[in-house]
């Protein structure tokens, strides 16, 4: 069974090393993990917008090959998760595929957003549903019978403990 490895890991200084470690963990639990860089793309002669579109099409093709997604929901460039990963979760959920997630930040979304009396600095209400991120994301996980595992990791973007725990749970639910 193939699973799509979603997350901001592609922006790390060593994305292929992290991908390899994640793929080894997947294999341990009976999955083949597909990482966004697992395709050959020649972007050299394309203008930036077309480069982006080529990457988009490549990632869609990878997700179409997979039976589930494991998303790194660790907050990225702000209090919420990576927006590209959020799109990928929604794409997979729309196809009826199981959505699993993990975060290396154990806090709830409302705890990560600064503000007073339930309002952010702009006076807008803060989601307070005791969820790790936007309710639509946790809703996609719950509705697909997936799960979200949160941990407070010192190695914020590279710890793989929560990742391994969610892959193990996925294997127990889907491969048993």
Give 111: exposed, middle or buried? Use CB within 10 Å, 0-12, 13-18, 19+. middle
Dihedral angle at the C-alpha atoms of 132, 3, 156, 153, nearest 10 degrees? 70
With b for 16 or more beta-carbon neighbours within 10 A and e for fewer, the 28-61 pattern comes to ebebebbbbbbeeeeeeeeeeeeeeeebeebbee
**What residues are paired with 150 via a beta bridge?**
103
CATH assignment at residue 8: 3.40.50.450
Q: What SS3 class is residue 24?
A: helix
How many domains would you assign to the chain?
1
Rounded distance between C-alpha atoms, residue 119 and residue 83, angstroms = 22
Average model confidence (pLDDT) for the chain?
A: 96
pLDDT on residue 92: 98
Token pair for 141: 């996980």
pLDDT on residue 176: 84
Residues spanned by the domain of 88 = 2-174
Token pair for 144: 């697909």
For 37-47, what is the mean pLDDT?
95
Tens of pLDDT, residue by residue over 116-165, are: 889 999 999 999 899 999 999 999 999 999 999 999 999 999 999 999 99
pLDDT band at 57 (very low <50, low <70, confident <90, very high): very high
pLDDT on residue 31: 98
Token pair for 39: 């395709």
């Amino acid at each position: 069974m193939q699973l799509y490895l979603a997350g901001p890991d592609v922006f790390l200084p060593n994305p292929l090393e992290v991908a390899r470690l994640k793929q080894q963990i997947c294999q341990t639990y009976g999955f083949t993990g597909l990482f966004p860089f697992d395709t050959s793309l020649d972007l050299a002669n394309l203008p930036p917008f077309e480069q982006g579109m080529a990457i988009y099409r490549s990632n869609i093709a990878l997700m179409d090959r997979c039976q589930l997604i494991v998303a790194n929901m660790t907050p990225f460039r702000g209090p919420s998760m990576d927006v590209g990963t959020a799109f990928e979760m929604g794409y997979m959920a729309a196809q009826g595929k199981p959505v699993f997630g993990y975060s290396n930040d154990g806090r709830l979304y409302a705890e990560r957003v600064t503000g007073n009396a339930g309002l952010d600095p702009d006076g807008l209400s803060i989601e307070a549903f005791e969820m790790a991120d936007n309710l639509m994301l946790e809703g996609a996980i719950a509705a697909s019978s997936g799960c979200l595992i949160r941990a407070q990791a010192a190695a914020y973007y590279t710890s793989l403990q929560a990742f391994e725990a969610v892959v193990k749970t996925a294997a127990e639910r889907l491969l048993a």
